[in-house]
Amino acid sequence: MAPIRLALPGDGLSVEALARVALGMDVVPPALAAAIDQHGGHLRVPHGRATVLVACAPGDAAVIALSYSCPPVRLIGELADLGGPVQRRAAQTLRELELLAVAEHARGTGVGTALLAASEEHLRQGGCKLVFAKVRQGDRQVLRWYRRRGYLPATPHEPVRVSLGGAVITFDDGGDGYQLVVKSLDATTRVARMMASAGSYLTVARRASPVTPQVTGQ
């Protein structure tokens, strides 16, 4: 299996190339590559720190996959009216998986699944409770891939409601041609779809406790 590690100074060009593939762009702004070459896989961003993990080809130093996760900067900024404690709670417990990219020649080998699992574990250890990513609307293959790994896809424009220390926040895909996939990283909860008069929404629900079989003596 491909070794997975934090990005290191010197990985910038490899990360930039993978980001170009993931974003479908001929040119990617060089800021990410430059930041990685200066700071490695822990990058300062508004409201916290972003993490860049990479997978390398077995027996080789070549970077073949990357994940980039960070606090949901735009969402946290929109919570300013709710006060600093709510913003800090959001920064602590929510993460957006902004990029997950695998080099073409390495697809189908399981490296993407391994990198996603490693990213989730890294986030969980840092206190993250809920992670979400954006998938291009109608990309059934990618949506199915995330669903098989425990993510619940939201329909386009379907909101997600989360309780943060007594305040309930709501966010959605932003109407930019993508839709959300959402997963709880807390073993005691799951993401569920709820129905309301205004339509459906996703929220975090407590997992049902396993039923303990009753043993009756003879």
Question: What is the tens place of the pLDDT at every residue in 30-86?
Answer: 688 899 999 999 999 999 999 999 999 887 778 999 999 999 999 999 999 999 999
Question: What is the tens place of the pLDDT at every residue in 127-155?
Answer: 999 999 999 998 999 999 999 999 999 99
Token readout for 29 is 């702004």
CA gap 213, 95 in Å, rounded: 38
Say whether pLDDT at 218 is over 50. no
pLDDT the model gives residue 129? 96
- Geometric angle at alpha carbon 125, from 134 and 52, rounded to 5°: 50
* Average pLDDT over every residue of 186-204: 93
Say whether pLDDT at 29 is over 70. no
CB–CB of 147/97 below 8 Å? no
Residue 146's nearest CA partner among 75, 97, 95 is 97
Q: How confident is the model at residue 217 (pLDDT cuts 50, 70, 90)?
A: very low
Question: What is the tens place of the pLDDT at every residue in 72-120?
Answer: 999 999 999 999 999 999 999 999 999 999 998 899 999 999 999 999 9
Mean pLDDT taken over the chain: 90
- Claim: this prediction has a pTM higher than 0.95: no
CB–CB of 142/162 below 8 Å? no
